[in-house]
């Protein structure tokens, strides 16, 4: 089976949906492809209210922003293909020769399909920049994003007693979410001489009795 579009977007997170919406509003036919069963990417892990300006949806919870972006995109006529694994990129001569441009090979369930496109946007997300130290690959050592996925997507508490490394906004917010999920956060440590995140987030976890230790780092696990 073959599908045709002008612009193919791989990744239905915030970046992919925004790119698709902008392209659609400019008049292009757009198809978004994502391997997950729900669009929104990182946004659906974010239960807290966003900060910043109203232009960046301050005061709105992350998963609500994901819902809004999806509604705006589909309402504008963007096609969104979910549970679609993109496993190859082929020139027409190497595929079935149909359509102009190139072809994305997709697998949806038991079906294999080609998506013919003219332009391609890759919005496949980012990878956490892990802090490496002896023992950083042991079970139970994970990034904040993995902890959020376990808690906010799969409803699994990642551990009973947690040490958070990093006092930026991500570390502070995830620490508070861990407390809400029932975990004990023994401390938040930060290598710099000051806290990098907003004071409002630091105050929340301090009121819960969690110490924030600056000028500290991990030597081994």
Minimal CA–CA distance to 57: which of 14, 117, 109?
14
Indicate the burial class of 198 (C-beta count within 10 angstroms; 0-12, 13-18, 19 or more).
middle
Report yes or no: 79 and 162 within 8 Å, Cβ to Cβ: no
Per-residue pLDDT tens, the chain, 221 aa: give them. 568 999 999 999 889 999 999 999 999 999 999 998 877 777 777 776 666 666 666 667 777 777 888 888 889 999 999 899 999 988 765 445 454 568 999 999 888 899 999 999 999 987 788 889 999 999 999 999 899 889 888 889 999 999 999 999 989 999 999 999 999 999 999 999 999 998 989 999 999 999 999 999 999 99
CA distance 13 to 19: 10
Helix (H) or strand (E) holding 27: none
Output the pTM of the full model. 0.74
In the chain, the domains with their CATH numbers are 2-122 (3.50.50.60), 144-214 (3.50.50.60)
Longest dimension (CA), the chain: 64
DSSP state of 17: H
């Amino acid at each position: 089976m073959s599908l045709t579009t002008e612009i193919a977007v791989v990744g239905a997170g915030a970046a992919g949906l925004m790119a698709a919406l902008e392209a659609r509003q400019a008049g292009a036919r757009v198809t978004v492809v994502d391997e997950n069963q729900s669009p929104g990417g990182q946004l659906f892990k974010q239960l807290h209210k966003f900060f910043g300006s109203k232009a960046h949806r301050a005061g709105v919870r992350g998963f609500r922003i994901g819902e809004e972006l999806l509604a705006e995109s589909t309402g504008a006529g963007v096609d969104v293909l979910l549970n679609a694994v993109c496993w190859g990129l082929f020139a027409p001569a190497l595929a079935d020769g149909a359509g102009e441009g190139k072809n994305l090979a997709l697998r949806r369930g038991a079906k294999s399909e080609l998506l013919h496109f003219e332009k391609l946007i890759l919005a496949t997300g980012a990878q956490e920049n892990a802090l490496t130290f002896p023992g950083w690959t042991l079970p139970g050592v994970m990034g904040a994003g993995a902890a959020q996925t376990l808690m906010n997507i799969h409803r699994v508490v990642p551990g009973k007693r947690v040490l958070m490394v990093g006092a930026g906004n991500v570390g502070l917010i995830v620490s508070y979410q861990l407390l809400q999920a029932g975990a004990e956060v023994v401390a938040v440590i930060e290598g710099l001489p000051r806290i990098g995140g907003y004071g409002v987030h630091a105050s929340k976890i301090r009121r819960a009795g969690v110490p924030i230790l600056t000028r500290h780092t991990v030597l081994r696990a």
